[in-house]
Chain A
Amino acid sequence: MARRLGFGCSISDINLYLNSSPRVVINDILDGASSMEVTPIPEWGQWDNKQFNNSGKNKSYYHTFWQKQAFKDLVNNGFRERLAVFWSNHFVIEYKDVNQPAYLYRYYALIQSHALGNFKTFVSEMGLAPAMLRYLNGYENKKNSPNENYARELYELFTLGEGNGYSQEDITETARALTGFNRFKTNMGIIEFNENTFDNGSKTIFGRKGKWGYDDVIDILFEEKKDLIAEFICTKIYRYFVSPNPDSSIISSMAKTFKEESFELKPVLKQLFNSVHFYDSINNNVIIKSPIDLMLGLHHSLSFQYQDNIDLELNLRNKCRDMGQEIFSPVDVAGWQRNHDWINSETLPKRWEFADYLLIKYWKKNKNQFKTFIKALVGSDETDVRVIVIKLKNFMFCPYEIKEEEMTDAINIFMGEVPESYFKDGTWSLNSNSVPKQVYDLIRFFITLPEFQLK
């Protein structure tokens, strides 16, 4: 369960939660995540263009720096950052298009602080985040020269869903109401509201006529379309955490809570994670891991030391990018479509190779950690090879049966070079010198199985 909330589950997580009820664990995780501080602002977090230009480093330095920070947070913060990845794939920006590292920081902090907060506030603040004003051209949306890009995506992608409850006229009129955020205080610094570029004429949005401005748009949207918003967002959350096939009954009860709680996110998440449905085995191993899930999950669940002098965060950022998930740079404004889109004959060999890469780095750091790990997992006294292999399999894959053919392969791989008689005559134990290599080889085998891509 913790595996499905965060990124995998380590032996220490398991021990920690083993004696608690799921409800306690869930509440622990959610309350912990919502009270977590935002990542501290970097020195350059409020710089404008001039300050970046005078800093002696180009912007890509700061962008990479912050991508690495995000991976550091992912490694350290678990569930909250997994939600942050969800939201950065919902309210999409592409950092290269925005091209202002301080805007990226503010966007990131906004996501962290609202990840379990109020969705309406989240939407409202996101539309004014300078990264978003740049990315979807709100900054260029002026009286007399409206740009409808943000208005369209506000409805299509952020709140209602494609073609769901709005017309082209609503978009055009909404774009007019969203005008005015067009003035830099300093070049690429703070973006201010400018009375003169705001269209204060009358607009009709969802049938309501008035001289609407920014806040009115959000109010009208959340008043007129609350059912559609609740359904759309709850479906998206469900698909992210539970299954690509939405279940309408649980979604409608989540949506009901969402509306009753004035679009607070935490009660909805609590409801979902505490539902019987969430634990239904039918929803086990049905989600295809994202590259971040794959790498972070493996890294967190094993919790091994990584080879020194290697920049872990940079590696994670690069490998995930190469598998199709560069953080803060989804494929397009609709975000990564996940599920089968993650997998093709290009990305699959990379998944095998990069997961293996992590294992190699652990191995190079200290091969004995493989022995310590297996002893902690199965008990130091275990000598039944089949039991050891099954326990490791259950740990690596949320428990489910792999095919007998591959089970046989797994056992053979685990037995490796060790003479067969050693397993019978008691020569071999988990203290044997061959154990680190045996465990290493078995994990390397497990990560190549197609099923390893599921969680």
Chain B
Amino acid sequence: MKHRKPNELHLKSHDRDHAHWDRRGFLRTLGMAGAGAISFGNSALSVVESPLLNQALSDAYSDRILVLIRLKGGNDGLNTIVPLNDFDLYANKRPKIHIPENKLYKLNNDFAIPNFMNSVAPMWGEGAMKVIHGVGYENQNLSHFKSSEIWATTTPASEISSGWMGRYYEGKYTDYMNNPPEKPLAIQIGGGGNMFFDGDLTTYSFSVSSPQRLKKVAENGTLYENQNNGNHLHGQQVSFLREASNTTFRYASVINEAYESSKAFDAYANDNFDLQMSLVSRFIKGGLGTKVYMVSLGGFDTHANQPTRHEALMTRLAKAIQTFYKDLDDYGMADKVLSMTFSEFGRRVAENGSSGTDHGSAAPIMLFGPALQGSGFVGKHPSLSALDKQGNMASGIDFRSVYASVLTDWLCANAFDVSNAINGPSHEILGLGLGCDGSEKLTMTDDPLLPLHAAVTTDEGISLYLSINEYANVEINVFDLLARKVGNTISSRLNSGKHNFSLIDTDTQSLPPGQYFYKITVNDYKTYSKSFLVK
């Protein structure tokens, strides 16, 4: 079976006149048009104005899935993404454990992965892998537990016991306890043990690793009345347990059905991590409709004997990711699934005396999935020489910006929900090549100053999406065909990442339909321009 059946619910939600569009066809159309302009029927539009079209767009984004891959113990970023551009220093600091040059696969001239991660090399080649350099946070905590907690709660404040995904769901599903959604919002494969999905009221994820067992629960389970348990600790514990029982029972059948109605893919290896990935795939293929999954791979705390251990782990990880996308691809689902690795910290630049590394700080995050539409790097690799007192690197990108970017540009969360989810310092939206409004059609380049840009129509007028990979001075002007300045002039110092500016405000700047240009000037010397239509 190559294609999954059309989603009937989705079709029902459409206006009858347009029921003959299938979403996939619509997306293809979007993709063909490129750069934010949309080819629609016979007319070239750069504007998205019909509410129907907006609805179709948001539907087109509604079946996106995020797979969070936790690398537990502190993954060594420097032996994952090896800095060729500083190779001598890297090798000097790690005489015993560096990956030698003849055992590297070059991603570009500056960075490489070890050969044992070759399984993901084809994904890099096909534009389905991005690496965010130097992710971490200020005042890195070197405790596994505290740092894992910080990655979950997004704050060092220990009185906060809810996680970012938990708060995101709590904000979105305010009536969750009385009116829970039909499908589990998130699934963790195997045990919980982290606070990502904990809200203040409840946990918004379902843990499963033996879906077969759920069949019996679905058949014999009971829903418990869960009111008036009292406010003392005993009552709270009873509420917690009754809620957990109810959740288990509530979702047992949909999960078991999704599992039973999908087929196993036989290329997965017989190990625990592959098993986790294969379960995620079966739930996705079985049409469960859950949007966020979390899997984990442990053993990254490589204080000793790192080369053998790290190689084994990264080989498994890379192979499992390759198999997972091959599996999904056969079902036409690969472009709907974004995977992201993360770890509580990286490791120290210099090796220790036991062929290992002690706890470090900044480390890369890897993203996988054809939806990324282009492989590349985001941010700057941290310096291997400008280290802190402990010999750790400085992070360039705060992990909260990564979360905010994924929420905003992959799960299509609005700014309010994102700010609910994420505590701590203000976050920026990174240019990951993702988006929920057509801006994801911006492709990546290797030139950090080359802006990626597209004009898109919004309710308020025409917006420009702009993405750069390095801090720069940017000026933007809008011209009509006679080279007269119209619309807004933007002049700004921009951080790396994605930005959105208003080019034309419909309310105040009513312009005749026709062709217009915008011109982007970067650091006063590089210019880029492009035309767009106002209808």
Contacts and interface: CB of A to CB of B under 8 A. Distances in A.
Contacts of A283: 233
Contacts of A438: none
Contacts of A348: 244-245, 248
A195 interface: no
A450 B352 contact: no
Contacts of A140: 303-304, 352-354, 356
A282 interface: yes
Contacts of B73: 332
B233 A286 contact: yes
A443 B208 CA distance: 27
Contact size class for A?
A: 35 or more
Contacts of B180: none
Contact of A340 (B233, B234, B240): B240
A404 to B, nearest CB: 10
Nearest to A400: B234
B225 interface: yes
B23 interface: no
Contacts of B530: none
B295 to A, nearest CB: 13
Interface string A339-353: 011011111111011
Interface string A312-346: 00000000000010000001111001001101111
B458 interface: no
A56 to B, nearest CB: 27
B143 A146 contact: no
A49 to B, nearest CB: 16
Contacts of A347: 191, 207
Contact of A337 (B193, B242, B245, B251): B193
A168 B214 CA distance: 47
Nearest to A283: B233
Interface residues of B, number: 52
- Which residue among A163, A344, A403, A453 has the maximum number of chain B CB atoms within 10 Å of its CB? A344
B146 A163 contact: yes
Contacts of B304: 137, 140, 147
A450 B193 contact: no
Given A349-B217, A350-B213, A450 B358 contact: no
A118 interface: no
B72 interface: yes
Nearest to A179: B353
A146 B193 contact: no
A318 B358 CA distance: 34
A19 to B, nearest CB: 29
B142 interface: yes
A334 B143 CA distance: 10
A290 B242 CA distance: 17
B298 interface: yes
A353 B213 contact: yes
Contacts of B201: none
Interface string A272-292: 000000000011111010000
Contact of B234 (A142, A284, A334): A284
Given A147-B303, A341-B193, A288 B237 contact: yes
Interface stretch (A148-156, A205-213, A357-365): A148-156
A346 B193 contact: no
B14 interface: no
B353 A453 contact: no
B145 interface: yes
B137 to A, nearest CB: 15
A236 B424 CA distance: 30
Contact of B244 (A152, A243, A400, A450): A450
14 contacts: A137-B304, A140-B304, A163-B146, A245-B233, A282-B234, A285-B234, A286-B234, A332-B72, A340-B203, A341-B193, A344-B244, A348-B245, A400-B234, A448-B222
Given A146-B352, A163-B143, A331-B191, 7 more contacts: A140-B356, A172-B390, A334-B145, A345-B207, A346-B190, A350-B210, A454-B238
